[in-house]
Amino acid sequence: MTFGEQPAYLRVAGDLRKKIVNGSLPPHTRLPSQARIREEYGVSDTVALEARKVLMAEGLVEGRSGSGTYVRERPVPRPIARSGYRPAGGATPFRQEQADGEVRGTWESSSEQAEASGAVAERLDIRAGDRVMCTKYVFREAGEAMMLSTSWEPLAVTGRTPVMLPEEGPLGGMGVVERMAAIDVVVDNVTEEVGARPGLAEELQALGGVPGHVVLVVQRTYYASGRPVETADVVIPADRYRVAYHLPVK
Amino acid sequence: MTFGEQPAYLRVAGDLRKKIVNGSLPPHTRLPSQARIREEYGVSDTVALEARKVLMAEGLVEGRSGSGTYVRERPVPRPIARSGYRPAGGATPFRQEQADGEVRGTWESSSEQAEASGAVAERLDIRAGDRVMCTKYVFREAGEAMMLSTSWEPLAVTGRTPVMLPEEGPLGGMGVVERMAAIDVVVDNVTEEVGARPGLAEELQALGGVPGHVVLVVQRTYYASGRPVETADVVIPADRYRVAYHLPVK
DNA sequence: TCGAATTTGTGCGTATGTATC
DNA sequence: GGATACATACGCACAAATTCG
């Protein structure tokens, strides 16, 4: 069926895309079902399916099983404030947000001991294989996952103290800075390195995204007197959020 | 074939991904052909194809028609320091880097007057259509483009002053802070919002990337006494660089 | 230089499971 | 319950690019 131009599924996807961006198919409307696409464009089931997949990978539409394929709202990515640490009310990234009065969030977490991998060991300035407490978080906003985080703390710092488990005890969920303060470790510095890459299927499934979507990855490390005491990888869907810093000059 | 767990194509993709990240399938090696995947995992052609597509969308592998599917090289992205402003020696992002003794860079630029678009006007807190000086930069490291930047300055601030053109006159190329200081505008704050998206074909051509690569976009705005005096979009290839911040806590 | 084999990319038809309406 | 629609899966076919003898 081709005579020198682009594949059929790209042609169909392109036509539907045009209707979406020019407003002829506004957000929340259903686009033609696979069967109707097949008829309207005179293509096979596979082509119709593949065309829908292209638009889904671009984040323009979202398939709801049993219901239809719907045009997504294209949110302007919202900034997530990360300008250092704010003492008021706690210190997880979420608590920062809540202090801004902009986000109402919840989170789940699970911790387990592990041995530091080479990369983590380097970031924590310990030896690979040293014991660390590894905690995985899922942060939700209005019930929707918006951020994944994996943190590592050297057990050489927190081991055999009340704050060994980040989310348990009286200081559970209070954030790194307070928890460390409780064991007389004064956190005074933090570095954040922001990168980006295509999200892994596993991550995007948790974040409600689609394979191929871009995620921001923040590698954050807290320091006390020059020694790293916690490091974390924060994974954020880039189509919905930006990472915002506010810095003084000079 | 399913009995309650994840789809077959994700299982296959997951297994191949594991072999890639743990080094059992190092960069530049070919992964099993579709036919071999079909045999080895006991799945159909469709599943093998779909699994390869997942890995391609994740940027882990790249398909070469007629040849095979190859594991991509994943360079460790290097940090670009952006921790506020450092007075020593100048103030373009590059000069910051040079102060660190890590990068030797050159840059080109071209300026022209323009009318502020709605988005730029909002960032500069002016009216859409107001005159601005728009300057485009290409930063190179060792001759290779590593960063694109487009900056906007309200002519209401710099117009009819010696620093109207960022890269000319005695303060040419000296950076926003010094140039503004020369006309008694004291820059005291900066916000940076880091986002990410697939690079545009035009950008990736300038940066020497391939279509589909991810770029980081930093929206930076300088403020003087609460008034925006410059804003810029900085585009950075995410496979080669990260954006690094260093912040005090408390 | 030629040609055969391999491999990816695209496309078709169909079947089944499952969620939604 | 029945109809609709998406998601996954199987098997097949062919074109274009590449590889290799």
B136 neighbors B149 (Cβ within 8 angstroms)? yes
Binary contact (B242, A194; C-beta < 8 A) = yes
Distance between B88 CA and the closest CA of chain A, angstroms: 10
For chain B, give the mean pLDDT.
Answer: 85
pTM (2 d.p.): 0.83
**What's the Å distance between residue A57 CA and nucleotide D3 C1'?**
29
Asked if A247's CB is within 8 angstroms of B190's CB, the reply is yes
User: Which chain A residues are within 8 Å of B191, Cβ to Cβ?
Assistant: 244-247
Please indicate if any CB of chain A lies within 8 Å of the CB of B75. Answer: no
Q: Which nucleotide minimizes the distance between its C1' and the CA of A6?
A: C10
pLDDT of residue B92: 44
**Contact state of A201 with B83 under an 8 Å Cβ cutoff:** no
Region for B164 from its dihedrals, namely left if φ exceeds 0, alpha if ψ lies in -120 to 50, beta otherwise: alpha
Query: Which amino acid belongs to residue B66?
Result: G
Contacts of B57 in chain A (CB under 8 A): 57, 198, 211-212
Q: How far apart are CA A250 and CA B205, in angstroms?
A: 35
Query: What SS3 state is found at A104?
Result: coil
- Residue A113 CA and nucleotide D8 C1' are separated, in Å, by 37
CATH class of the domain comprising A78-246: alpha beta
Give A136 to chain B, closest Cα distance, Å. 20
- A167: which DSSP letter? T
For chain B, the structural domain boundaries read 8-71, 78-246
Sign of the C-alpha dihedral, residues B181, B184, B187, B188?
Answer: positive
The Å distance, CA of B62 to C1' of C9, is: 13
Average pLDDT for B1-13: 77
Residue with tokens 């050297």: A154
Q: Which residue of A has its CA nearest to B250?
A: A85
With 0-12 / 13-18 / 19 or more C-beta atoms within 10 angstroms meaning exposed / middle / buried, residue A152 is: buried
pLDDT at B79: 84
Which residue of A lies nearest to B193 if distances are taken between CA atoms?
A244
In chain A, the residue whose alpha carbon lies closest to the alpha carbon of B247 is A190
pLDDT score of B123: 95
Tell me which long-range contacts A56-64 makes (C-beta under 8 A, separation of at least 24): A56/A210, A57/A210, A57/A211, A57/A212, A57/A213, A57/B57, A58/A17, A59/A209, A59/A210, A59/A213, A59/A239, A60/A17, A60/A20, A61/A20, A61/A31, A62/A210
* Cβ burial, residue B196 (10 Å; 0-12/13-18/19+): buried
Look at residue A46 in the predicted model and tell me its pLDDT: 93
Residue A122: predicted pLDDT: 94
* Strand D nearby residues, CB < 7 A: A 31, 33-36, 46, 49, 52, 56, 63-69; B 1-2, 7-10, 43-47, 50, 64-67
Residue A74 CA distance to nucleotide D9 C1' (Å): 32
Residues 179-238 of A with CB under 8 A from B: 187-202, 211-212, 214-216, 219, 222, 238
Contact with chain A for residue B248, Cβ under 8 A: yes
**Which of A149, A133, A163, A111 lies closest to A236 in space, CA to CA?**
A149
Please tell me if residue B249 touches chain A, with a CB cutoff of 8 Å: yes
A120 touches chain B (CB under 8 A): no
Name the nt closest to B31 by C-alpha to C1': C7
Domain B8-71 sits in CATH at: 1.10.10.10
Q: Which residue is nearest to nucleotide C5 (CA to C1')?
A: B66
Give the model confidence (pLDDT) of B126-143 as tens digits: 999 999 999 999 988 887
Using alpha carbons only, give the angle B119, A17, A43 rounded to the nearest 5 degrees.
175
Q: What is the pLDDT along chain A (250 residues), one digit of tens a residue?
A: 434 478 899 999 999 999 999 999 999 999 999 999 999 999 999 999 999 998 988 888 999 988 999 999 877 777 776 754 443 333 344 444 444 444 457 888 889 999 999 999 999 999 999 999 999 998 887 777 889 999 999 999 888 888 888 777 777 667 788 888 888 899 988 999 999 998 888 888 888 777 778 999 999 999 999 999 999 999 999 988 899 988 888 7
Distance, in Å, from the CA atom of A228 to the CA atom of A157, rounded to the nearest integer, reads 10
pLDDT of residue A87: 38
Cα–Cα dist A26/A72, whole Å: 9
Q: What is the mean pLDDT of residues B83-101?
A: 44
A127, exposed or middle or buried, with CB in 10 Å at 0-12, 13-18, 19+? exposed
In this chain, the answer to whether the domains covering A8-71 and A78-246 adopt an identical fold is no
**Interface contact flag, B196 A238, Cβ < 8 Å:** yes
Yes or no, beta carbons of A247 and B10 under 8 Å apart: no
Nucleotides on chain C that have an atom closer than 7 A to a protein CB are: 6-15, 17-21
- Distance, Å, A10 CA → D13 C1': 20
